[in-house]
Structure 1
Amino acid sequence: MYLPVTVMTNVLTTNRLTLRPWRVEDASAALNVYGNAEVTRWLSPEMDQVPDETAMRLLLQQWIAEAARLRAPAGRWAIEHTADGQVIGGAILLPLPPGQEDLEVGWQLRPDLWGHGYATETTHALAAWAFDHDVYEVFAVVRPGNTRASSTVRNNGMHWVGETRKYFGLDLQVFRLRVADLDAAAPPSAGPPGRD
C-alpha cells in the first residue's frame, strides 16, 4: 500500500510534506529552487534558471493562471515542509507534449535538501492523487546524464520504459509508474521513504 495521502481540494499532505497551490508571495522561497543552476540545468527547455525575485514572481503568476485551467489531477504545487511551513521545492503533474496524453510527474527541491526522501514522498503523493482520478500510469522523463534523477525515479518504484525524442524534442529516458508499482514501492513502515 502506498503512503497515506490526505487530500483537501488540491492540497495533498503526507507524513512530512504539504503540497499546495503556489502563491505569488512564495517568490523568495521558489527562487531558492528555480534560481539554482544545479536544479534548472536538468529541466525542460521551456524552463531556464530564474534570475531574480521579480522574474520568479512573474513565473509564479503564470503557473497559478495555468493551474486554474488544468483539469484534475494535473497541476503545479509548492512543496512545503509541514513542520515549519517552509517551501522547499515544487512539484508537477502535467500533460506531456506533443499529444498531452501522457502525464508527467516531477519535482524540484532545494539542493541542500536532496537525499532526505522528499522526492519519493512527493512522487508517491502525486501518483496516488492521479490514480484516485482514474489515471492508470504516470511518467517521469529524465535527461541522459542526470544519474541522480534516474536513481530517484527507480527508488520511487518507477520502471524504465526506454528512450525517446517524443517529448520536447530532446533525447530523454522515460520511466513509468502504475498502481501496482506504487503499492510495491511503498515503505513497510511509517518511517521516511528511500533516498532521493
Structure 2
Amino acid sequence: MTIYETERLVVRDWTLEPDDLARVYDTYSRPEVARFLNAPWLPLREPDDAAETVRRWHARNAGFGAGYGIWAMQRRDDGRVVGTVLLKPMPGRDEAKLTDDIEVGWHLHPDSWGHGYATEAARGAVERAFAAGVPEIYAVVAPGNEASMAVARRLGMAAIGRRTDWYGGEELETFRLSRP
C-alpha cells in the first residue's frame, strides 16, 4: 500500500514478497548500516531473518496508530527499493513505553547513499506529520553518523545536543523541527 509519494520515490509498506525480503536482508545484514542502529537484532545473520524483521515492523506499525510507520522507499523510475523511512512515536527510557515525541528517520542501502533519497523521503514524512497537526518532529542520530546528521540539517532541523530521553537512555545526537 502506498503511504505517500515524492518526486522520485514511492513510500509504501514493506511486504513479505521475495524482492522486499532480499532487499531487507541485503541492507540490514551490512555492518556499515547496522553500526549506527543500536538494535539487538542487527546485523541480520540469515536471509530468513528478513521476514521476521518485516513482521516486527508490521506489528510496530499496528501499535503506532494511524499515520505512523516504518516504510520502504522505492524509486519511481525502476521500482528499486533504496531503504527505509520511518515516522513514529519514540520509545522512552523505558523502551516498552512510547512517548509523545515523534521521530523521522531513515536507513538506506549503501548503493543508494549520496543521491538525496533520505532527505526527499524524510521531507515527505515531515510534511505528512505537520499536515496531521504534529507540532514538532525529532531526528535522533548515533554520535559519529555524520551523513545522517547532514540529512537532518538539510531538512532544516536544529541540533539541540546529545539527549538520553529515548531508546532506553542511549545518548543520541538530537535534532528538532517545529511546525511552521
Whole-Å separation in 2 of the counterparts to 1:10 and 1:86: 15
The answer for unaligned runs of 5 or more in structure 2 is 93-97
Q: How does 1:16-95 map to 2 (within 5 A)?
A: 16-25=8-17, 26-95=20-89
Change (3 A) 1:46 1:62: same
The CA deviation at 1:178 is: 2.2
State the partner residue of 1:174.
174
Helix, strand or coil at the partner of 1:48? coil
Helix, strand or coil at the partner of 2:134? coil
Q: How does 1:77-156 map to 2 (within 5 A)?
A: 77-98=71-92, 99-156=98-155
State the partner residue of 2:160.
161
TM-score, structure 2 as length reference: 0.89
User: Residues 15 and 54 of structure 2 are in contact (CA less than 8 Å); yes or no, is this contact kept in structure 1?
Assistant: yes
Change (3 A) 1:46 1:166: farther
Helix, strand or coil at the partner of 1:59? helix
The CA deviation at 1:135 is: 0.4
Change (3 A) 1:126 1:49: same
User: Residues 134 and 179 of structure 2 are in contact (CA less than 8 Å); yes or no, is this contact kept in structure 1?
Assistant: no
Runs of 4+ aligned residues of structure 1 deviating over 2 Å after TM superposition are 44-47
User: Residues 90 and 103 of structure 2 are in contact (CA less than 8 Å); yes or no, is this contact kept in structure 1?
Assistant: yes
State the partner residue of 1:14.
6
Helix, strand or coil at the partner of 2:37? coil
Point out which structure has higher relative CO (alpha carbons under 8 A, 6+ apart): 1
Change (3 A) 1:82 1:107: same
TM-score, structure 1 as length reference: 0.82
User: Residues 30 and 87 of structure 1 are in contact (CA less than 8 Å); yes or no, is this contact kept in structure 2?
Assistant: no
User: Residues 40 and 47 of structure 1 are in contact (CA less than 8 Å); yes or no, is this contact kept in structure 2?
Assistant: no
Q: Percent same amino acid at aligned positions?
A: 35
The answer for unaligned runs of 5 or more in structure 1 is 1-8, 181-196
Whole-Å separation in 2 of the counterparts to 1:58 and 1:147: 29
The CA deviation at 1:68 is: 2.5
**1:60-90 residue CA offsets vs partner (Å, 9 max, x unmatched):** 1121122123212211111111111111111
Q: How many residues align?
A: 172
Whole-Å separation in 1 of the counterparts to 2:90 and 2:60: 14
